[in-house]
Amino acid sequence: MDFSVLAAGGSSGVTKTIMSLQNVTGFAGCLLWLVFSSSACREGPPVDPVDRDAAPPPVELEPQARPLLSAALAEELVRLSLDCVDREYPNKPGHVLETPAQVRPHREDTPTFFGCFDWHSAVHGHWAMVRVLRLFPDIPCSAEIVARLDRHLRPDLIERERSFFEQPRARTFERPYGMGWLLRLRAELETLSHPRAADWRRALDPLARAISRRLADYLTRLSVPVRDGTHQNTAFSLIHALDYACVCDDPALADVVRRRARDFYLQDRACPTAFEPSGEDFISPCLAEADLMRRILTTKEYLSWLEAFLPPPQDERFRPLRAPVEVRDPQDPRIGHLIGLSFQRAASFAGIAAALPPGHPWRAVYTTLAARHRTEALTQMFDAGYGGEHWLASFALLALSPDETMPCPQRQP
């Protein structure tokens, strides 16, 4: 399968990355085409893409066997974040106004995370900068990244952010999605080796600790999880929260997340894949849940749970998760969510595959599906306009760079 064809008209960094994905997944792509699609790797008429009696493909590939993120593509992606973190408008505030006196520029309440259209996108725009700086410390735009982080991650500004969160009217502000991303940002800073990193960590700590406590309290009061495919999805935010708790040694939050994840999801069976996706999703509820539970359960528990939760990849019920969803209008900021869905699916597929033991029949197929979704999303994201550019770089980096912020061991229940 020639992935480079999909990059026609794209930027050079994207084109090179898609061509490298061809090298990583060429045989597996052929395998996927044979098992799931049509006759791309064989002659003859198209066949039914699902053989319900077929054995899972006996192929093993290591997830992300070669680097997926080049310095050139990383700079192209982080440029989107650099271009939006100081862009104050357009903006979509998410807080409640109780009095006329509170009608003021949003930057006065949130003076660090005021750009990128909304608070959570500003937060993960900063995460994107930190991740690129960590992975490529000598990248040409590194000085610009450092200057931007120095300007934004200041104790006085973060204190104003924390004070805003303490107001009663902000009780549900950015819960849980933005809260999860803030904790992800703090976790990324913990792994960053840079002379300024300690100062950025100290600046952000008061807000991170406050959000950790608030999220833990919320989880203890939540009766059932939210399972939609957008910002309210519980599992997606718990992934960020648990990785933060492990990296930054927050055992109280880790215990709450593990306990509530078991309460919410351990008895789940037969995820309704037929209902995915909804038209404006950027999170797969089924895959986000499976990605979370690999962090919660032992390997033995997880295999038993996963095989009861998701159908085999060759099963007809798995069909809705196999292929990237058609995006008919990338510049519609809500329909364009589907580009992010492909990146999120790719990250989940790769993470789940890495949690499966070598030789597991699903592992190679999940690895190939991750590459397929990454490739498709990369061809679309730079045509999305500001409605997509203000956030898609972060999701691309989640899908293209290694999952390295979960070093703590799983605990027995």
Tokens of 296: 């919660």
**The predicted structure's pLDDT at residue 224:** 98
Using the predicted structure, report yes or no on whether residue 45 has a pLDDT greater than 80.
no
Residue 411 included in any domain: no
How distant is the alpha carbon of residue 254 from its chain centre? 19
DSSP code per residue over 183-243: HHHHHHHHT---TTHHHHHHHHHHHHHHHHHHHHHHHHH-SS----SSTT-HHHHHHHHHH
Residue 218: its pLDDT value, please? 98
Residue 406: the pLDDT is 55
Asked, for residue 138, whether it belongs to a domain, the answer is yes
CB-CB contact of 367 with 321 (8 Å): no
Q: Which of 173, 201, 202, 176 is nearest to 187 (CA)?
A: 201
Question: What is the dihedral angle through the alpha carbons of 245, 250, 256, 257, rounded to the nearest 10 degrees?
Answer: 0
Query: Is a pLDDT exceeding 70 seen at residue 272?
Result: yes
Structure-block tokens of residue 59: 């192929």
SS3 155: helix
Q: How many separate domains does the chain show?
A: 1
Let me know if residue 396 belongs to a domain: yes
Omega of the bond prior to 206 within 30 degrees of 0, cis? no
pLDDT score at 3:
25
pLDDT band at residue 86 under the 50/70/90 scheme: very high
Cα angle 181, 183, 187 (rounded to 5 degrees) comes to: 115
pLDDT at 298 exceeding the cut of 70: yes
Mean pLDDT (the chain) is: 87
With cut-offs at 50, 70 and 90, classify the pLDDT of residue 214: very high
- Looking at per-residue pLDDT, the higher value among 309 and 35 belongs to 309
What angle do the packed helices 119-135 and 71-84 form, to 10 degrees?
150
Q: What are the pLDDT digits (tens) for 122-155?
A: 999 999 999 999 999 999 999 999 999 999 999 9
Q: Look at residue 346 and tell me if it is in a domain.
A: yes
Backbone angles phi, psi at 329, to 5 degrees: -140, 85
- In a domain, residue 180? The reply is yes
Residue 408 has pLDDT above 90, yes or no: no
pLDDT band at 4 (very low <50, low <70, confident <90, very high): very low
Whether 410 is in a domain gets the answer: no
Could you tell me which of 338, 351, 322, 320 has the C-alpha nearest to residue 388?
Answer: 338
pLDDT (tens digit, 9 = 90+) per residue, 306-331? Answer: 999 999 999 999 999 999 999 999 99
What local confidence, expressed as pLDDT, does residue 376 receive? Answer: 96
Does any domain span residue 171? yes
Contacts of 299 (CB under 8 A, 6+ apart): 355, 357
Task: Decide if pLDDT at 405 tops 50.
Answer: yes
Q: Which pLDDT belongs to residue 226? A: 98
Residue 10 has pLDDT above 90, yes or no: no
Confidence of residue 258 (pLDDT cuts 50, 70, 90): very high
pLDDT digits (tens, 9 = 90+) for 108-131: 999 999 999 999 999 999 999 999
What's the mean pLDDT in 380-391? 95
In the DSSP assignment, the letter for residue 145 is H
Calpha distance 132→192 (Å, rounded): 10
Q: Which residues contact 313 (CB under 8 A, 6 or more apart)?
A: 35, 36, 56, 322, 362, 365, 366, 369
Q: Which two tokens stand for residue 376?
A: 């498709």
Give residue 160's domain range.
3-400
3: which DSSP letter? G
405 occurs within a structural domain = no
The angle formed by the CA atoms of residues 380, 386 and 389, to the nearest 5 degrees, is 50
Residues 6+ apart with CB under 8 A from 167: none
Q: What tens digit of pLDDT does each residue of 350-383 get?
A: 999 999 999 999 999 999 999 999 999 999 999 9
CATH number, domain containing residue 202? 1.50.10
**What is residue 402's predicted lDDT score, i.e. its pLDDT?**
76
- Which tokens in the block code for residue 232? 């309210």
Flag whether pLDDT at 24 surpasses 70: no
